[in-house]
């Protein structure tokens, strides 16, 4: 079969699933359509459930059955949903894989399928006086860049669909959920397969819509509705930038087709805007504003943590692995443009770096397991933009690729944890789950190592490459490198803090819930396992140049090369940095990752399994704190009360003077930076958002006051309008 010419089919499979679900779903799923969804992620005593209870008497029993995990109502037709929707994504995956394999045999590594002219245009004179006719096709482009994206979307998407059949099994909105999810996959595939910016924008808006619908899936939670709306409105601000950038691109370049744009920009008619901030830089900046909205970068990142109100598989698929990377993909797609606009690229890199470290510091103090991961996602996306900004496009995509595996895994794992502890999301009420849900633990263990950047795991390769590029590329600088490095350390710390609080130590789970803890069904653990394998292997296709490997081990960069060919990839400041520098830097980052993990262990490890020097030092602290148990009290101890007051005579002199002093200092810094971040988040960012909406609201009042309802007043305004017209003539 010629998959290459059938790439237009790839998005259509999930669309079919979505249409069937949304039109006929209520008939497949025997639940009453008006029923209120009760999710595993919702604690039963929440107001939401009481509201549900108020409406439907039977919901309560249903939810209780669910808690014990033995409820399998629905049956028959519901299986159709469970087979159809993941099946459709699987078909997409097969077609994608087929197409990508065939693409490898195409010499120019690029294949376009144009179905029809979508937005036909009229001839007009461009800024330069040239006559141009603009049109955008309903067309699809498969090249190395989009092939990576479709594999990620359909591959990870399929696993998450399978996972969802288990996770969402007890939800009343089952068909609705899968309908939205399939619709999302459709739009996401449109986004990455489109051959021009206009069609890309279809997917761009579509994924935003699905994200909105899925965030607000638990519609009886008010916070869910607000979060959904916040996401959509914030995204629209970014979209305004995207539209303007696209229109400007058209008026300057005369086309918005990826291939043509790259060719025109690479033709030499446009020179790099090194001197000033010209039209290309404006264009690039506008597009980047669009990217900051979708990919949750400063200043538009505020919606992503709130988006965690949605079901966990949604967080995994949309808010970690795919949709939020759309901005990264778009900027990488525009590589030829950013190549010519060093100033904008610097902005991209700086915004990325700043976002990375800001989000990482916020993640340090979050107690909601999903919020930690959300901020972590923001931070990792910052890394990708950092890579884009320094001109290392393939590295950004590489990190996107590996991140998709381990972050999806982390989210799904956290979903499994939440599932196990009956909807609890607060890590302070977890702990000691390691042996009760072993598969979840071990898979998350792998993911945590991957994100921390431990050699051999996927995250290491991509993150290290980003750091190296930030240091060595022409666009890079020492400052960017240091920020990236610090973020890496913080990442290792907060991720292992999460692991410790969740899986190790003594259980802090409420007794009545503890009795119900159980490992998730196979439909959930199998995707976890597969993702864990991916989290190890995915990085090996992009091993550092330093390691001197070849072939598959450096396959990623070679595969992507045609996509960024016109871009002078990796303009490494040769000579300035040699192999030994790279080795040293790698060592530093590994060391920092280990230190981060170590500190996390030091601070949060409760029952040391592995004897060692660090654990030995932990001992006194552990004993000291054993009567003040909860981890948040460690915080109080370290950060609030101060060490001297709490420690007192129980600590040995060594501990007090050396180790604890260090911890205290680090703690002070962490507390300061994170409270600054929170302050920034609450007052500056949220404040700006609130102020804007307040301003918008307030400004609508004068309009209403004028609207008195008196017809004479209306007539007066007609006359005033006419007078203003006349006045214009006189004032001219």
Residues 156-215 that bind other proteins (CB under 8 A): 176, 198, 201-202, 205-206, 209, 212-213
How far apart (Å, rounded) are the C-alpha atoms in residues 96 and 4?
9
- Cβ contacts of 425 within 8 Å, gap of 6 or more: 41, 368, 369, 370, 418
Least distance in Å: CB of 8 to other proteins? Answer: 13
Angle formed by the axes of helices 47-55 and 59-68, to 10°? 130
Instruction: State the minimum distance, in angstroms, from the CB of residue 714 to other proteins.
Output: 4
Report the candidate in 302, 509, 505 with the shortest Cα–Cα distance to residue 421.
509
CA-only gyration radius of the chain, Å: 27
Cα distances (Å, whole numbers) of residue 393 to 51, 161, 181, 339: 49, 30, 29, 10
CB of 691 to other proteins, least distance (A): 14
Shortest Cβ 200–other proteins spacing (Å): 10
Q: Which of 26, 477 has the CB closer to other proteins?
A: 26
Question: Could you tell me the smallest distance in angstroms from the CB atom of residue 147 to other proteins?
Answer: 23
State in angstroms the smallest separation of the CB of 120 from other proteins: 5
Q: How far is the CB of 9 from other proteins (least distance, A)?
A: 16
Residue 7 or 199 having the CB closest to other proteins: 199
Number of chain residues interacting with other proteins (CB under 8 A): 81
Whole-angstrom Cα distance, residue 529 to residue 535?
A: 10
The residue among 134 and 503 lying less far from other proteins, judged by its C-beta, is 134
Q: 3-class DSSP state for residue 574?
A: coil
Assess contact for 295 and 327: CB atoms under 8 A.
Answer: yes
State how far the Cα of 6 lies from the Cα of 104, in Å rounded to an integer: 16
Pair 111, 143: CB distance under 8 Å: yes
Among 511, 512, 704, 731, binds other proteins (CB under 8 A): 704
CA–CA distance, 99 with 76 (Å, rounded to integer) = 35
Q: Which of residues 643-702 bind other proteins (CB under 8 A)?
A: 693, 696-697, 699-701
The distance of closest approach from Cβ of residue 124 to other proteins in the complex, given in angstroms and rounded to an integer, is 5
Angstrom CA distances, 386 to 359, 558, 717, stand at 14, 21, 54
Q: Stretches 495-503, 597-605, 608-616, 723-731: which one binds other proteins (CB under 8 A)? A: 723-731
Contacts 24+ apart (CB under 8 A), 473-477: 473/390, 473/391, 473/392, 473/570, 473/571, 473/572, 473/573, 474/391, 474/571, 474/572, 474/573, 475/342, 475/345, 475/346, 475/349, 475/389, 475/390, 475/391, 475/571, 476/349, 476/390
Closest CB 117 distance from other proteins, rounded Å: 6
Kindly state the smallest distance separating residue 244's Cβ from other proteins, in Å: 5
What are the φ and ψ backbone dihedral angles of 141, each rounded to 5 degrees?
Answer: -125, 125
* Interface stretch with other proteins, choices 218-226, 499-507, 570-578, 600-608 (CB under 8 A): 218-226
Q: How far is residue 481's CA from residue 386's CA, in Å, rounded to a whole number? A: 10
Question: Quick one: 51 or 536, whose CB is closer to other proteins?
Answer: 51
Q: Which helix (H) or strand (E) holds 139?
A: strand 136-142
Residue closer to other proteins (CB basis): 640 or 720: 720
Residue number with CB closer to other proteins (134 or 338): 134
Which is closer to other proteins, CB of 36 or CB of 408? 36
Measured from the CB atom, the residue of 81 and 597 that comes closer to other proteins is: 81
CB of 238 to other proteins, least distance (A): 9
- Residue 630's nearest CA partner among 370, 384, 427 is 427
Residues numbered 90 to 149 that lie near other proteins (CB under 8 A) are 116-127, 134, 138
CA distance 469 to 478: 11
Residues 224-263 contacting other proteins, CB under 8 A:
224-225, 228-229, 232-233, 236-237, 239-240, 243-244, 247-248, 250-251
Q: How far is the CB of 205 from other proteins (least distance, A)?
A: 5
Instruction: Pick between residue 83 and residue 127 the one whose CB is nearest to other proteins.
Output: 127
Calpha distance 456→480 (Å, rounded) = 25
Q: Which of residues 18-57 bind other proteins (CB under 8 A)?
A: 22-23, 26, 33-36, 51, 55
- Which lies closer to other proteins via its Cβ, residue 550 or residue 708? 708
Interface with other proteins by CB under 8 A: which range of 394-402, 593-601, 650-658, 715-723? Answer: 715-723
Is 332 in a helix, a strand, or coil? helix
Rounded to the nearest whole angstrom, what is the least distance from the CB of residue 705 to other proteins in the complex? 10
Nearer to other proteins, 506 or 690 (CB): 690
User: In this chain, which of 109, 220, 319, 434 binds other proteins, going by CB under 8 A?
Assistant: 220
Q: What are phi and psi of 343, to 5 degrees?
A: -65, -45
Question: Looking at 67-75, 334-342, 466-474, 722-730, which segment touches other proteins (CB under 8 A)?
Answer: 722-730
Q: Pick the closer one to other proteins by CB: 175 or 461.
A: 175
For residues 443-479, one letter each, b for 16 or more C-beta atoms within 10 angstroms of the residue's C-beta and e for the rest, the string is bbebbbbbbbbbeebbbbbbbbbbbbbbbbbebbbee
- Which residue's CB is nearer to other proteins, number 70 or number 697? 697
Q: How far is the CB of 496 from other proteins (least distance, A)?
A: 37
Nearer CB in complex with other proteins: 221/508: 221
Provide, rounded to whole angstroms, the least separation between the CB of residue 43 and other proteins: 19
* Residue 571 is a binding residue for other proteins (CB under 8 A): no
- 426 φ, ψ to 5°? -85, 120
Say if residue 299 is preceded by a cis peptide, omega within 30 of 0: yes
Q: Which of residues 345-364 bind other proteins (CB under 8 A)?
A: none
How far apart CA 682 and CA 674 sit, in angstroms, is 12
Apex 140 CA angle, 134 and 143, nearest 5:
115
The C-alpha atoms of residue 140 and residue 133 are separated, in whole angstroms, by: 20
**Six-digit token string for 197:** 């910016």
Q: Binding residue for other proteins (CB under 8 A) from 575, 653, 729, 731?
A: 729
Residue 29 vs 424, nearer CB to other proteins: 29
Report d(CA 477, CA 464) in Å as an integer: 15
- Encoding tokens for residue 324? 């939020």
Residue closer to other proteins, measured from CB, 251 or 367: 251
Query: Which lies closer to other proteins via its Cβ, residue 551 or residue 721?
Result: 721
Q: Between 269 and 725, name the residue whose CB sits nearer to other proteins.
A: 725
Residue 228 near residue 208 (C-beta atoms within 8 A) = no
Q: Which residues contact 456 (CB under 8 A, 6 or more apart)?
A: 536, 539
Shortest separation between residue 249's beta carbon and other proteins, angstroms: 10
3-class SS at 131? strand
d(CA 400, CA 462): 9
Helix (H, G, I), strand (E, B) or coil at 441: helix
**Torsion sign, CA atoms 382, 383, 386, 387:** negative
Q: C-beta of 310: minimal distance to other proteins in Å?
A: 12
Minimal distance, residue 186 CB to other proteins, in Å: 11
> Which residues between 385 and 424 bind other proteins (CB under 8 A)?
none
């Amino acid at each position: 079969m010629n998959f290459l010419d059938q790439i237009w089919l790839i998005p259509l499979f999930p669309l079919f699933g979505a249409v069937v679900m949304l039109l006929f779903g209520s008939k497949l799923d025997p639940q009453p359509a008006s029923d209120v969804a009760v999710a595993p992620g919702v604690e039963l005593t929440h107001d939401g459930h009481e509201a549900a209870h108020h409406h439907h008497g039977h919901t309560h029993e249903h939810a209780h059955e669910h808690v014990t995990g033995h409820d399998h109502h629905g049956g028959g037709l519901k299986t159709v949903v469970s087979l159809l929707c993941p099946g459709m994504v699987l078909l997409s995956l097969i077609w994608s894989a087929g197409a990508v394999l065939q693409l490898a045999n195409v010499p120019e590594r690029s294949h376009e399928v144009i179905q029809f002219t979508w937005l036909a245009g009229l001839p007009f004179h461009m800024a330069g006086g040239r006559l141009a006719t603009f049109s955008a096709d309903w067309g699809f482009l498969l090249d190395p860049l989009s092939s990576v994206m479709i594999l990620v979307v359909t591959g990870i998407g399929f696993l998450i669909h399978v996972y969802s059949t288990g996770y969402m099994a007890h939800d009343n909105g089952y068909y609705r959920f899968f309908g939205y999810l399939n619709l999302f996959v459709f739009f996401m595939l449109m986004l990455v397969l489109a051959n021009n910016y206009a069609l890309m924008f279809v997917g761009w808006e579509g994924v935003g819509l699905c994200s909105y619908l899925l965030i607000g899936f638990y519609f009886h939670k008010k916070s869910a509705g607000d979060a959904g709306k916040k996401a959509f409105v914030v995204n629209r601000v970014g979209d305004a930038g995207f539209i303007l950038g696209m229109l400007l691109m058209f008026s300057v370049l005369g086309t918005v087709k990826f291939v043509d744009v790259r060719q025109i920009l690479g033709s030499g008619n446009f020179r790099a805007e090194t001197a000033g901030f010209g039209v290309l830089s404006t264009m690039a900046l506008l597009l980047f504003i669009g990217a900051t909205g979708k990919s949750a970068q400063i200043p538009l990142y505020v919606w992503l943590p709130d988006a965690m109100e949605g079901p966990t598989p949604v967080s995994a698929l949309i808010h970690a692995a795919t949709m939020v990377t759309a901005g990264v993909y778009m900027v990488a797609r525009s590589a030829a443009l950013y190549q010519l606009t060093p100033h904008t690229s610097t902005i991209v890199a700086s915004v990325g770096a700043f976002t990375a470290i800001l989000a990482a510091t916020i993640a340090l103090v979050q107690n909601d397991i999903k919020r930690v991961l959300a901020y972590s996602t923001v931070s990792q996306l910052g890394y990708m933009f950092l890579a884009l900004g320094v001109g290392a496009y393939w590295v950004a995509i590489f990190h996107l690729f590996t991140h998709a595996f381990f972050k999806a895994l982390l989210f799904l794992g956290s979903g499994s944890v939440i599932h196990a502890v009956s909807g609890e999301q607060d890590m302070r009420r977890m702990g000691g789950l390691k042996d009760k849900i072993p598969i979840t633990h071990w898979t998350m263990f792998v993911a945590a190592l991957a994100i921390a950047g431990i050699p051999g795991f996927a995250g290491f390769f991509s993150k290290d490459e980003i750091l190296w590029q930030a240091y060595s590329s022409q666009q890079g600088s020492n400052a960017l490198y240091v920020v990236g490095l610090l973020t890496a350390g913080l990442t290792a710390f907060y991720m292992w803090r999460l692991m410790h609080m969740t899986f190790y130590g003594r259980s802090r789970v409420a007794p009545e819930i503890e009795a119900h803890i159980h490992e998730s069904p196979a439909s959930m653990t199998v995707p976890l396992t597969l993702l864990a394998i991916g989290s190890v292997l995915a990085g090996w296709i992009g091993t550092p140049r330093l390691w001197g490997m070849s072939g598959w081990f450096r396959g990623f960069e070679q595969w992507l090369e045609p996509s960024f060919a016109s871009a002078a990839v990796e303009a490494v400041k040769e000579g300035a940095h040699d192999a030994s520098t790279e080795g040293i830097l790698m060592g530093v980052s590994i060391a920092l990752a280990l230190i981060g993990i170590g500190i996390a262990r030091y601070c949060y490890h409760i029952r040391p399994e592995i004897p060692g020097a660090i654990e030995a030092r932990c001992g006194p602290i552990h004993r000291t704190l054993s009567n003040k148990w909860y981890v948040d009290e460690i915080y109080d101890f370290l950060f609030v009360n101060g060490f001297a007051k709490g420690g007192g005579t129980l600590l040995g002199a060594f501990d007090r003077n050396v180790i604890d002093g260090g911890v205290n200092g680090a703690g002070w810094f962490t507390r300061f930076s994170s409270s600054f971040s929170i302050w920034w988040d609450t007052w500056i960012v949220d404040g700006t958002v609130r102020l804007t909406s307040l301003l918008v609201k307030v400004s609508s009042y004068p309009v209403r006051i004028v609207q008195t309802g008196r017809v004479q007043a209306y007539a007066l305004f007609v006359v005033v309008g006419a007078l203003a017209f006349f006045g214009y003539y006189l004032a001219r």
